[in-house]
Amino acid sequence: MRYLEILEQDQITNVIWSQTVTINLQQHDKSKTYKKLREITNDSRKKSIMFYNEIFEETKVLRVPAESSTVRDWRAHCQLALWYDTHLNHTKKIILLSELEHTHDDTPNNVVVMTTRQYLNTYYKHDVLLQNLVHVLADVVLEDNEDGKIRIASKKSGGLSAVNTAVSGYSEYKSVDELEVGIKSHRYFSGVFRCRKDSRDQAYVNGGSHLGKDILIIGNENRNRAVHGDVVVVELLSENSWATPSNEIAFSSSNAEDEYEEDRFTNAAAASTQPTGRVVGVLNRNWRSYVATLQEDSSVVGGSIHLAIPLDPVVPKIRIRYQDVKLIENQRIVVRIDNWPISSQYPNGHFVRSLGPIHQLDTEISAILVEHSISVSQASQGFSQLSLSEMPIDTPENPWKPDQDEIKRRRDLRSLTVFSIDPPNCQDIDDALSVKELPDGNIELGVHIADVSYFVKENFITDLEARSRGTTVYLADRRFDMLPSVLSERICSLRHKVDRYAVSVIWTMNKDYKVIDTWFGRSIINSSCEMEYEQAQQFLDGKSVATGLDASLCKKLKPCVIKLAQVLRVIRNKRLDKGALELEGSEIKFKITDKHEITDMNILFNIYTTQIPH
């Protein structure tokens, strides 16, 4: 699966993955590769599938005595290709991608066998990105050693490079058995390796309950090829080496990672010092795609080898191979780490793709998306035609209307005073509120969530695209929707004065605001108002008419907003009395009041819906 990254590219579609491949990945503990493969098949835009050939009667192949698993797997792939050829009545060319050498005798006549490079040279000859990527990956052979760590070799050199620890100062990792024994005896400590963003010479690993302190890792040698996010094993240094963490900010320079300034750390009194250690093993690499830029003097480093400086300051420089460096100079590029040999000062990696020229808005936004592992990109911002074809029609000439039969199956809440409270100019209004005082003195409190599930059916194309996106991503000047805008901004947006499908929870509370009855189900609502935060706050501040709202509407809304604030203030206090945790975040947002009423409504909704049996 050396060329999996090529098959991840947007240009490559209509790929059939065999179950044989996935079984091999699972047997050889390639969970990350398997996960990437499943992401490809789950992305409807890729138009790729996994075929369960091992359990399909017409394609399953049994292993014969003395036959190697490699030969059996090849026969399984050939059988699958032949079945497809017959299934399609010989109208399509069936291409088998394989990096192994095969003779004419073991290849079916009606099937074309190609290497990945041959395939790209035939069908994507002028695609610069794919051609560069296959060239880079072809020169790298990833080999698993017995400890599950990865080393790198070049086909040109014919084997693994000789270890030269004198150059890097790094040391060999301990064996898995030694690490396990050391962890159990508390000689070693395992945890996630975290680097300080303001001082790359310092990192730390949680020492756990046995030690009770973080373990400070100082300098590249003690880091020993660990990368931020890796799960590592650490050995404590002697107490006379323990140090006080520096509060200085390390300013980057071309040699910042190469130098270790001893005087930046002080051996203070024992009470103020922190345990220090060194990495002696890596249990799990947490490498991802990194946004980087080539070092300015990179082209002088030597031939086609260049240093890429990651955007994230906690990640070390990455050494990549690229032939025509002028194509990616002054560009934001995406790179991945392949390996960090003991003989190399920097990890080895490879170029994946270019995001565009640095300092351009679209480029920097793409960089933000990649750095935060957000699957949607500038190129894939739109939805596929297959997804859009599943959408209901809603045009000025033919506006969407609720189905009369569907209305009969829902609780009709259109007579209820329902309103939403959102930021100004909000288009995707996904929840609304209601509060009503009953004649017997009880209170009816409601939360109404847009019923997207009515329009998005499970495992349909739109559902699969929404899963891959995960959420709507909001940036300063744009957003990347989880659902097509016809749903998020129109039909599933709880706009005022229009009928909308919803999922509602309505609580009946007594005078002490104790819930005495709960109703949950599908409903149809008609929102009275799309209120903004500031308008709701004006009601709470005592104003009779909120800016921008009709006086008669304000007369109906004001008592609802005030009563809502009263009820939720009590609910929140009860929740906190029971030990509820509130997490603070550095988020800039408007607040209705200091008591976070809208948040408490959503929390109450979640609590009660989880209690309903499905």
Which of residues 89, 121, 138 is at a domain's end?
A: 138
Q: Is 87 exposed, middle or buried (0-12, 13-18, 19+ CB in 10 A)?
A: exposed
Is 148 part of any domain?
A: no
pLDDT for position 250: 47
Closest by alpha carbon to 281, among 233, 217, 224, 235?
233
> The pTM is what?
0.70
Tell me how far CA of residue 422 lies from CA of 335, 417, 495, 590, in angstroms.
39, 17, 11, 9
What pLDDT digit, counting tens, does each position of 237-265 carry? 998 888 877 655 444 444 444 444 444 44
CA 331/CA 321 separation, integer angstroms:
16
Residue 363: what residue type? T
Query: How many other C-beta atoms lie within 10 A of the C-beta of residue 112?
Result: 15
* Longest pairwise C-alpha distance within the chain: 88
Q: Is residue 415 located within the same domain as residue 549?
A: yes
Whether the predicted pLDDT of 160 surpasses 50: no
Whether the predicted pLDDT of 97 surpasses 50: yes
Is 166 part of any domain?
A: no
Sorting pLDDT into bands at 50, 70 and 90, what band is 591?
very low
Whether the predicted pLDDT of 130 surpasses 90: no
CA 48/CA 101 separation, integer angstroms:
25
Q: Is residue 524 located within the same domain as residue 426?
A: yes
Q: Is residue 346 located within the same domain as residue 248?
A: no
Is 145 part of any domain?
A: no
- Average pLDDT over the chain, rounded to an integer: 83
Q: Is residue 241 located within the same domain as residue 261?
A: yes
Q: Is residue 39 located within the same domain as residue 79?
A: yes
Is 107 part of any domain?
A: yes
CATH for 188: 2.40.50.690
Q: Is residue 318 located within the same domain as residue 398?
A: no
Is 143 part of any domain?
A: no
Instruction: Specify the range with the lowest mean pLDDT, choosing from 14-23, 132-141, 143-152, 509-518.
Output: 143-152
| Domain span including residue 563 | 385-609
Is 110 part of any domain?
A: yes
Is 170 part of any domain?
A: no
Q: Is residue 586 located within the same domain as residue 482?
A: yes
Whether the predicted pLDDT of 219 surpasses 50: yes
Dihedral, CA of residue 11, residue 84, residue 464 and residue 503, to nearest 10: 150
Which of residues 77, 110, 138 is at a domain's end?
A: 138
Mean pLDDT: which of 261-270, 300-309, 503-512 is highest? Answer: 503-512
Q: Is residue 323 located within the same domain as residue 415?
A: no
Which of residues 243, 260, 284 is at a domain's end?
A: 284
Task: For residue 106, give both structure tokens.
Answer: 């073991």
Whether the predicted pLDDT of 389 surpasses 90: yes
Task: For residue 172, give both structure tokens.
Answer: 């060999």
CA 481/CA 7 separation, integer angstroms:
25
Task: For residue 598, give both structure tokens.
Answer: 């809208």
Q: With beta carbons less than 8 A apart as the criterion, state whether 530 and 420 touch.
A: yes
Dihedral, CA of residue 166, residue 168, residue 169 and residue 171, to nearest 10: -100
Is 522 part of any domain?
A: yes
Phi, psi of 89 (to 5 degrees): 55, 35
Mean pLDDT: which of 143-147, 460-464, 548-552 is highest? Answer: 548-552
Whether the predicted pLDDT of 319 surpasses 50: yes
Q: With beta carbons less than 8 A apart as the criterion, state whether 399 and 393 touch.
A: no
CA 481/CA 471 separation, integer angstroms:
7
Q: Is residue 230 located within the same domain as residue 298?
A: no
Residue 132: what residue type? N
Q: Is residue 273 located within the same domain as residue 320?
A: no
Phi, psi of 378 (to 5 degrees): -60, -40
What pLDDT digit, counting tens, does each position of 522-534 carry? 999 999 999 999 9
Name the pairing type of β-strands 473-474 and 479-480.
antiparallel
Domain count for the chain: 4
CATH for 315: 2.40.50.700
Q: Is residue 365 located within the same domain as residue 506?
A: no
Q: With beta carbons less than 8 A apart as the criterion, state whether 498 and 485 touch.
A: no
CA 227/CA 259 separation, integer angstroms:
18
Q: With beta carbons less than 8 A apart as the criterion, state whether 409 and 522 touch.
A: yes
Residue 591: what residue type? K
Q: Is residue 569 located within the same domain as residue 456?
A: yes
